[in-house]
Structure 1
């Protein structure tokens, strides 16, 4: 029986063969004999498909002219955030490595964010679309605020990974002052940070209070943990040992007071009904002296 992975690989291979046969042929410059890159439309190379258009360039121009000074300051903040982000990443990696060497224990595991596998497909697609649009749009607007020309905007597919791009005039960009180039480079990350902050504020103060009951939601139950077979995905923990739990801070505070082997009572809302469930805590992987339920909370 053919596995799902084999079917997926075959489907991807057939897709690229058909796409390349239809759009892979390139025009040749009769003088130089070199392939001519299309300024608009779809062009396909080995596992790379790019669709270019000039239709959005006017919109980017108009947006950049609303307040060029604002966009330059915006780019400067992006430069600062970029350097601070790099410094923090190096620091975090160094401290993690140091802690691993000192404790001689494996660091905490991480989980890849894969749409359709570790998160719902539509969550990933919506998130990816938003990030691509604001990221590339930000690059383009700051470039035009710096009087740098753009050739096109478009979409790209790298094997199975979708993306977007704003294509500047590389020759003009390379000759621009260093600060201008850094503003253009940092603008994309600045857009991602700004979008994350705005989204968090909207969710925290507008959407979440309307949709989510007070308590700690169970997004996943870890197999083999005390919660396995007791709690279900979608449960909402509203109390621990009779003490109300409305926020993540309250949940963490109460759990920090528990010990491995202790039996606790969880008050849970499941399918609109409140129930009390008992479970015996295990050792917390991060701190063996504290109790561990075995859930990924929200």
Structure 2
């Protein structure tokens, strides 16, 4: 529906006059003045860009290795340690992104991430004296893309190391931006949701558990002797630090609940009750404090607006993962070009093609397997 509105509006406004290409399935904008802008920026930042360009080659290998390790390890976890399996989905507005806030955060983040990514390619291309013919963005119904279009002849004539610097710069700029943003977000309680151990314990004061505000009458919690102001620390042996840690329970089963009462640890056995709105969902019978209780050690920034916090969290997530995933060796991604440049002219052209298609097939199957296993575990899920 959004695409229909965009398409009709673009036609009505006659955006072709301003450099837009409008088709039934896409809207593409190209600007021929990008090269001049990049040269001006390079004139003031040449030393820093030179260091960045060299780092991009090393970072390209690291990011590609990390992407493969993550996907392979994730598949392994599905079969040997399913609790550690990370569910993956492709973010597509209206398909896997369905909530209004999620779509809003995504749409606001994508232009920033694309500018960082394509700017990285472009500024290093200018450093390597490879002319950028055009730069711009494209919308393919529900998918977004940014691009800088180098002069193909100049790119082909460039040294292999120059090509690797240009290709690696896009993903490197995204990950470096995410790292800088991540350091800032370490002052934000919301960021604790994605910070792994041991960093979580270093940068945040961990909560003791989840506070009980009140007890539901005639519930298993009341009958077992739980009280308001008790702090739940575990349920059925599962550590509880925040409300999201509460496990799924079945009505009628007996649950073991551990609490802190005035600093003293206590254990209770209670009967799980059915939820009033969903008889198949189990409740222990409490009203809990659902506030986010992680406290940053570095608390020199006041985060008073949760909307800003969530937007920056999305921006961090999208920038980091677009950078990492972009270095996977697939035909449409930077990783595919990166590998092709490395092996090109070292072996015969036929062998290069066979090798690349073998790598593409393996990567596609691995990536697809992660998506498929996610759906096998949780079904079709949306954000």
Which TM class, normalised by the smaller chain length?
0.5 to 0.7
The counterpart of 1:68, out of the listed 43, 46, 51, is 46
Whole-Å separation in 1 of the counterparts to 2:82 and 2:232? 34
Compared with structure 1, are the counterparts of its residues 19 and 177 closer, same or farther at alpha carbon in structure 2 (3 Å cutoff)? same
Whole-Å separation in 1 of the counterparts to 2:65 and 2:55? 15
| SS of the residue 2:29 aligns to | strand
Aligned twin of 1:142: 124
TM-score (norm 2): 0.46
Deviation at 1:194, TM superposition (A): 1.1
Compared with structure 1, are the counterparts of its residues 194 and 104 closer, same or farther at alpha carbon in structure 2 (3 Å cutoff)? closer
Aligned twin of 2:88: 110
Task: Give the RMSD, CA atoms, in angstroms.
Answer: 4.5
Whole-Å separation in 1 of the counterparts to 2:160 and 2:145? 26
Compared with structure 1, are the counterparts of its residues 179 and 151 closer, same or farther at alpha carbon in structure 2 (3 Å cutoff)? same
Structure 1 residues 70-95: Cα deviation after superposition (integer angstroms, max 9, x where no partner): 32321221221221222222233333
Structure 1 residues 98-150: Cα deviation after superposition (integer angstroms, max 9, x where no partner): 44455799945335545552552321122212101111111111110111111
Residues 75, 190 of structure 1: 8 Å contact kept: no
Q: Residues 178-197 of structure 1 correspond to what in structure 2 (within 5 A)?
A: 178-197=160-179
* Residues 1:126 and 2:104 aligned together: no
Q: Residues 44-55 of structure 1 correspond to what in structure 2 (within 5 A)?
A: 44-55=22-33
Whole-Å separation in 1 of the counterparts to 2:84 and 2:178? 31
Residues 265, 279 of structure 1: 8 Å contact kept: no
Compared with structure 1, are the counterparts of its residues 149 and 266 closer, same or farther at alpha carbon in structure 2 (3 Å cutoff)? farther
Aligned length: 220
Compared with structure 1, are the counterparts of its residues 281 and 198 closer, same or farther at alpha carbon in structure 2 (3 Å cutoff)? farther
Whole-Å separation in 1 of the counterparts to 2:271 and 2:158? 61
Aligned twin of 2:256: 262
**Larger helix proportion of the pair:** 2
Residues 72, 146 of structure 1: 8 Å contact kept: no
| SS of the residue 2:255 aligns to | coil
Deviation at 1:279, TM superposition (A): 10
Compared with structure 1, are the counterparts of its residues 58 and 104 closer, same or farther at alpha carbon in structure 2 (3 Å cutoff)? closer
Deviation at 1:169, TM superposition (A): 0.9
Residues 136, 165 of structure 1: 8 Å contact kept: yes
Aligned twin of 1:90: 68
Deviation at 1:165, TM superposition (A): 1.7
Compared with structure 1, are the counterparts of its residues 75 and 239 closer, same or farther at alpha carbon in structure 2 (3 Å cutoff)? farther
Whole-Å separation in 2 of the counterparts to 1:110 and 1:46? 30
